[in-house]
A and B are shown apart, each in its own frame.
Chain A
Amino acid sequence: MSDPITGLAHMLGQPFIQHALVAGTSIALLSGLVGYFVVLRGQVFAGDALSHVAYAGALAALAAGVDLRFGLFAATIAVGLVLGLLGGRRAADDVVIGTAFAWVLGLGVFFLAIYTTHSATGNSAANVNVLFGSILGISASAASTAAWIAVGLIALLLVLARPLLFASLDPDVARASGVPVRLLGPLFLAIVGATAAEASQAIGALLLFGLLAAPPAAAQRLTDRPWRGFVLSGLLSVLCLWIGVCVAYAAPKLPVSFTIMTTSTVLYAGVVLVTTVRWPAFSRRGGAARP
């Protein structure tokens, strides 16, 4: 691949890359948009817990012999709702989350043991795929399903976005002006759970943060405007996925989940560097009110 353009055209001609990009773009956009609120609400740890729940759910489905995605979504959405209800307005106590999700992960290991001992085709490939993702191996039908679910979740998030922002920044006033704060918390964590389930199919349960935490953190450093940051976070996340897929295609030795995660880490580190160096200029510009 001496010529990058030809190389790119060749890459885009590959069906598995097309599937990866269709599923990956929608999942990355979803993760980035959801992640913006996760970071704003300080619920990264809950997101972490939900990604581990995704693992346990997927392995439970494998052990039971049903579709893996069923286990993923059922477990993450249910636990997301429970976490939201337990915590009331804010995220549940971190100790409660931590204790519970350590156990859920133990359950995952339990299902893994059942799966590997009882399944005739018992191999650890499925386990590794759930943990670390397999976007380059996703089938056409799985890709389109993942994309449609992502689109649906994004639509739901857009509907909730403004009251959610209000409730995140200013819960007391939001409640007084009629925002159903108590309802939004669990609902949002259920969306985070569904996002974790989606992302597990792309970059794996363990690497969810590549798309859920790093792009929003970068976006919040780049802009103080909530809606601009919201959109930017989604776009950065998509960018990370594209770059990661391209790099993994060019260097087949590197796993694609690693390249995606590395891209987003480098992106965040770069943003920190740029915003820190240009700090005085930023604060001068931000001095006047521009609503």
Chain B
Amino acid sequence: MSVDLTWDLVADVRQLLSYHFMLNALRAGTIVAVVCGAIGYFMVLRRQSFVGHTLAVIGFPGAAGAIWLGVSSGFGYYGFCIAGALVIAALPGGGRAGSGLGGAGEESAVVGTVQGFALACGFLFVSLYKGFLSGLNNLLFGTITGVADHQVITLLIAGVLCLAVLVAIARPLLFVSVDPDVARASGVPVRLVGTVYLVLLGTAAAGASQITGSLLVFALLVAPAATASRLTARPYLGLGLSVLIAVLVTWLGEAFAFFSPYPIGFWVTTLAFGAYLLATGYGLLRERLGRRLVTA
């Protein structure tokens, strides 16, 4: 593949879109980014970053196991991530917002143990399937060249389902995430909503793993949402911003990966982190200006 960056934007974009695999990567990336941006926003709100990271990582043994058994890696991703979500939801307090952090040391230790065990299983599958060690990096860190047409369709179906369910539970989920006790008192099934949300998170992580790799999904889940919540305190505006940032970061990341020798995982995480730093800086600046206005 001979790719030259001409610095002519139109020519570059045309060059990018002339490859079928790039088109697929962009389609898949857009779906994944929209889903991760939306689901990640609630993950940040519910302070479930650690659980999100663990679910993302669980996709790795799933994919490795599926390849070892000779079936499509998609089955492995979705199967393991959703099963992992159900296991974590079944842990005492697992479906609760804020689990995996704070004083509840043992809960997060359990989630951590699940994560370590999942990764160890993935490593086992990889070593049992000898010839495949070179594919390990793709599983962990993603590739833009590997998205097939049928994968895009699967991603689309899973993504639409995810968003539909998320829209259905959005309001009670917001309520439960912000104020679980009051929500319970007003008749919201807190445990059920938490479990459904974790399954959504698992599905989103499984889809994104196929593009960015298991270890870097988390960047797409947490960074756009964290950036959005720095910029605004309005929940639905934040949700939209989070999706927007995720899509932008993914498009740019894929384009940069296309024109540079460095992998997509590096670009997506770096852009996402850059956006977060900018938002943090903007927030601090605004705060300082605001204080000056008040004191003046």
Contact = CB atoms under 8 A, between A and B. Distances in A.
Contacts of A97: 49
Interface bin, chain A: 35 or more
A230 interface: no
A117 interface: yes
Given A39-B105, A42-B103, A48-B50, A95 B116 contact: no
Interface bin, chain B: 35 or more
Nearest to B123: A132
A217 B226 contact: no
A264 B123 CA distance: 16
Interface stretch (A77-85, A183-191, A251-259, A281-289): A251-259
Given A45-B49, A99-B276, A214 B109 contact: yes
Given A112-B141, A213-B113, A39 B266 contact: no
Interface in B108-138: 108-113, 115-117, 119-121, 123-124, 127-128, 133-134, 136-137
Contacts of B137: 112, 124, 127
A99 B222 contact: yes
Interface in A6-51: 39-42, 44-45, 47-48
Given A48-B53, A209-B113, A261-B117, A42 B102 contact: yes
Contact of A113 (B53, B115, B120, B262): B262
Contact of A264 (B104, B113, B127, B136): B113
A42 B106 CA distance: 8
A106 B116 contact: no
A45 B100 contact: yes
Interface in A236-259: 253-255, 257-258
Contacts of A99: 219, 222-223, 226, 272-273, 276
B136 A95 contact: no
25 contacts: A42-B102, A45-B101, A94-B47, A94-B100, A96-B226, A100-B273, A102-B219, A102-B272, A103-B223, A106-B269, A106-B273, A109-B262, A109-B269, A113-B266, A128-B133, A132-B119, A204-B123, A209-B115, A210-B116, A210-B117, A213-B109, A255-B124, A258-B120, A258-B121, A258-B123
